[in-house]
Amino acid sequence: MDNFEFLSPTKIIFGKGAEDQLVREVKKLGKKILLHYGEGSIKRIGLYDQVVKSLQEAGIDFIELGGVKPNPRLSLVYEGIKLCREHKVDGILAVGGGSAIDSAKAIGVGVPYDGDVWDFYCGKNLPEETLPVGVVLTLAATGSEASNSSVITKEDGWLKRGLNIDLIRPVFAIMNPEHTFTVSRYQTACGGADIMSHVFERYFTNTKNVELTDRLCEAVLKTVVNNLPVALAQPDNYDARAELLWAGTLAHNGLLSTGRGGNGDWAAHKIELELSGLYDVAHGAGLAAIFPAWMKYVYRHDLNRFVQLAVRVWNVEPDFANPERTALEGIDRLTKFFKECGLPTTLAEMNIPADRLEEMARKATRDGQMVIGQFVKLTTEDVVAIYKLAL
């Protein structure tokens, strides 16, 4: 096991009626709040009205900025920063999924910073201060509600980049599984793929003797495998939605990285970010195509680990004479699972042509100046090969 530090101070308020605690929690953000949200789904489910009413009844002063898009954009972050400065906002309440939260985190670190907030995303600088961010979550997917991550897309060049720092972990997260009942079948599946991918990024490590966190990872994966099909078939199945919602948080709050050397592999995510940056496909859908391809490309690096995944998560009967067969069967079952959930598992299914693979690979590796990944370090050529396996 490797050395680690772990701090996950986000207060979780989970369950039916969790939003009744909103006022108690939101007061911790300060006196003047920015209410930040997306393109309307929170209005359709009545959550917007409920939140606004709670804030008004409690006499909490707030301004609003809606319109966060999936793959949240830098231009709206700039707008949010300007608004917060003008109105002397103390804290931000994000209502929605990962996009609204990531955007709120970016605004939070941007407000007290003299320079361009993009500096934090392109690695030029690290934030030292933030406005506090609270969350009312409506989607089981990114884990942003308790994570140290924020991913923002800069429209100029469609660059999608992430910031990872404990400073930006939300102060609280209100999580009512009922708020996810109306998430579409496709978005639910994408969320499940995202959660599983967050676990995979941690699962594939070169650190030996990590039994506890291996098993915690497997626990989260099995829970998604068992509950995602239920949620797809019965969108208002509270327990399945609850399992997915809590799994999404634990997949990405850092617990599953503890002792495993750094924060994970993240090559597949970086490879996918170029896809969803350039073609604006759903992040989870991109991952459903990229992860099996990445696995096929790297499994020989640690065959035993892939056998373990196949046996423990996919219940593959081990072929002791031919462990490679077991490992590949595990990857195959992952692909089949994604397909059964209605996700694309090839770039073709997302109408992504083969003509810009090298361009994306170069962007992912910063023009070949970086190798990506920890488990296996990948060059531009490796990334092209993985895109091709996903065609």
Residue 66 interacting with a second copy (CB under 8 A): no
d(CA 202, CA 388): 24
Of the candidate residues 64, 90, 218, 332, the single one contacting a second copy (CB under 8 A): 218
Residue ranges with strand state E in 31-178 = 32-37, 61-65, 91-96, 133-137, 149-154, 159-164, 172-175
Pick the closer one to a second copy by CB: 2 or 358: 2
Could you tell me if 235 and 181 are in contact, meaning their C-beta atoms sit under 8 angstroms apart?
yes
Taking the complex as a whole, how short is the minimal distance between the CB of residue 187 and a second copy, in angstroms? Answer: 21
Pick the closer one to a second copy by CB: 15 or 318: 15
Pick the closer one to a second copy by CB: 249 or 276: 249
Taking the complex as a whole, how short is the minimal distance between the CB of residue 350 and a second copy, in angstroms? Answer: 30
Of the candidate residues 92, 104, 250, 273, the single one contacting a second copy (CB under 8 A): 250
DSSP 188-251: HHHHHHHHHHHHHHHHS-S-S--HHHHHHHHHHHHHHHHHHHHHHH-TT-HHHHHHHHHHHHHT
d(CA 228, CA 343): 12
Q: Which phi and psi angles does 342 have, rounded to 5°?
A: 85, 20
Residue 220 interacting with a second copy (CB under 8 A): yes
Pick the closer one to a second copy by CB: 216 or 347: 216
d(CA 196, CA 203): 10
Residue type, 317: E
Taking the complex as a whole, how short is the minimal distance between the CB of residue 128 and a second copy, in angstroms? Answer: 17
- Per DSSP, 298 falls in state H
Both structure tokens of 366: 């910063």
Of the candidate residues 259, 318, 323, 342, the single one contacting a second copy (CB under 8 A): 259
Residue 13 interacting with a second copy (CB under 8 A): yes
Pick the closer one to a second copy by CB: 17 or 59: 17
Pick the closer one to a second copy by CB: 103 or 205: 205
Pick the closer one to a second copy by CB: 15 or 66: 15
d(CA 243, CA 241): 6
Beta carbons within 10 angstroms of residue 311's beta carbon: 18
Which span sits near a second copy by CB under 8 A: 183-191, 254-262, 283-291, 368-376? 254-262
Residue 247 interacting with a second copy (CB under 8 A): yes
Q: What is the CA radius of gyration of the chain?
A: 20
Of the candidate residues 57, 59, 114, 209, the single one contacting a second copy (CB under 8 A): 209
Taking the complex as a whole, how short is the minimal distance between the CB of residue 135 and a second copy, in angstroms? Answer: 14
Of the candidate residues 99, 148, 223, 257, the single one contacting a second copy (CB under 8 A): 223
Residue 246 interacting with a second copy (CB under 8 A): yes
Could you tell me if 72 and 105 are in contact, meaning their C-beta atoms sit under 8 angstroms apart?
no
Taking the complex as a whole, how short is the minimal distance between the CB of residue 193 and a second copy, in angstroms? Answer: 17
d(CA 93, CA 280): 26
Q: Return residues touching a second copy (CB under 8 A).
A: 1-9, 11-18, 21, 177, 208-209, 211-212, 215-216, 218-220, 222-223, 226-227, 238-239, 242-243, 246-247, 250, 255, 258-259
